[in-house]
């Protein structure tokens, strides 16, 4: 059972990195940010809903009605900023930067869940900051003008998802895990209605190719969410779980190098020095993960 504490977040990290590439491909096929977010949120809901019905697990504890509302709002903000970062930045920059979520989780765990944060975690914070600096290496020109925006959007998304994880670790089990996942995503999907006036074109004009990649990416996002929610509600320890989940930064760089060109993503052609910096930054991010993993978890 304890092995799942390590395996599931690492698996979720790889799935997230893969889904980011697929969603980027869909965007390249002409579907804009708002339609991408709207479609993915509803696909996500139609994955989680039947899963709850299939398991037959539990009725929600409505005394905690605010939990999915809070979590869903945080998730919607995080998803919106994530897609903004993916649209205007590179996957191999935006996705590793989302690894700073672990720092937000550590801070919020202290403030909200009353966990203690060991000194080694702050060492990990410094290492993560250095990794962000290395990930900032991009070619001159248009990409550089987008870098600051990509960084801010990615970190804003990281904070939103950190709030979601705190809610999952602190209250999902008490509310009911599968009801928590369903109602949280229902809030996200309904919140997507605010995007309708901003569509660049009707949904019927989304190409078949974009639908294919966007649906696939959204299903994979839903799968990694289920893995993370189960892990957080079962084991708690949101900081430790997110340290392992931070490996998605390295996964994203490796996947771009391995399969990016097959899907029309040529970020690896940005130049050897750029890719080397990004790879080094991701490795440093993993080193920060290792530093924290070596620290005994609170309550162990």
Give, for all 300 residues of the chain, the pLDDT tens digit.
Answer: 677 888 899 899 899 888 888 888 888 888 888 898 899 899 988 888 787 776 666 688 999 999 999 999 999 999 888 877 767 776 666 766 776 787 788 888 888 988 776 777 667 767 766 776 676 544 444 445 567 777 888 889 989 999 999 999 999 989 988 899 999 999 999 999 888 888 888 888 888 988 999 999 999 999 999 999 999 988 887 877 887 787 776 777 777 777 666 666 555 555 566 667 777 777 787 777 677 666 644 444
pLDDT value of position 183: 93
pLDDT value of position 298: 42
Would you state the structure tokens that stand for residue 2, as one six-digit string?
């304890």
Residue 298 lies in a domain: no
State pTM to two decimals.
0.78
Residue 300 lies in a domain: no
Neighbouring C-alpha atoms within 13 Å toward the C-beta of 151: 15
Cα–Cα distance for residue pair 33/21, rounded to 1 Å? 14
In the chain, where does DSSP find H-type helix?
Answer: 2-28, 33-55, 66-88, 91-97, 101-111, 119-135, 142-167, 173-175, 177-191, 208-235, 238-245, 248-259, 272-293
pLDDT value of position 299: 44
In whole angstroms, how far apart are CA 124 and each of 287, 288, 299? 8, 4, 20
Residue 299 lies in a domain: no
pLDDT value of position 186: 93
CB-neighbour burial class of residue 200 (10 A; exposed 0-12, middle 13-18, buried 19+): exposed
Residue 48 lies in a domain: yes
Quote the number of domains for the chain.
Answer: 1
Say if residues 83 and 23 touch (Cβ distance below 8 Å).
Answer: yes
Quote the domain boundaries for residue 195: 2-293
pLDDT value of position 254: 75
Residue 145 lies in a domain: yes
Residue 94 lies in a domain: yes
Residue 260 lies in a domain: yes
Cα–Cα distance for residue pair 190/34, rounded to 1 Å? 14
């Amino acid at each position: 059972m304890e092995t799942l504490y390590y395996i599931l977040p690492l698996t979720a990290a790889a799935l997230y990195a893969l889904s980011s590439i697929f969603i980027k491909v869909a965007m390249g096929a002409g579907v804009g940010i708002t339609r991408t977010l709207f479609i993915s949120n509803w696909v996500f809901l139609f994955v989680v809903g039947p899963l709850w019905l299939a398991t037959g697990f539990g009725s929600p504890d409505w005394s905690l009605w605010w939990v999915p509302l809070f979590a869903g709002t945080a998730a919607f903000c995080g998803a919106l900023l994530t897609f903004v970062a993916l649209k205007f930045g590179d996957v191999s920059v935006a996705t590793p930067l989302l690894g700073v979520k672990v720092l937000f989780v550590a801070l919020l765990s202290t403030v909200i869940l009353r966990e203690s944060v060991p000194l080694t975690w702050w060492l990990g914070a410094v290492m993560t900051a250095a990794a962000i600096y290395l990930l900032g290496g991009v070619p001159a020109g248009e990409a550089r003008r987008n870098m600051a925006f990509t960084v801010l959007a990615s970190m804003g998304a990281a904070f939103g998802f950190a709030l979601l994880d705190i809610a999952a670790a602190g209250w999902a089990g008490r509310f009911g895990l599968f009801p928590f996942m369903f109602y949280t995503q229902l809030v996200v999907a309904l919140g997507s209605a605010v995007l309708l006036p901003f569509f660049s074109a009707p949904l019927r004009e989304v190409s078949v190719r974009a639908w294919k990649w966007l649906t696939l990416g959204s299903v994979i996002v839903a799968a990694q969410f289920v893995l993370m929610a189960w892990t957080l509600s079962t084991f708690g320890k949101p900081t430790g779980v997110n340290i392992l989940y931070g490996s998605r930064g390295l996964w994203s760089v490796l996947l771009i190098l391995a399969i990016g060109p097959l899907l029309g993503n040529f970020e690896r052609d940005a130049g050897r020095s750029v890719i080397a910096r990004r790879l080094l930054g991701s490795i440093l991010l993993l080193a920060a993960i290792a530093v924290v993993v070596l620290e005994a978890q609170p309550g162990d």
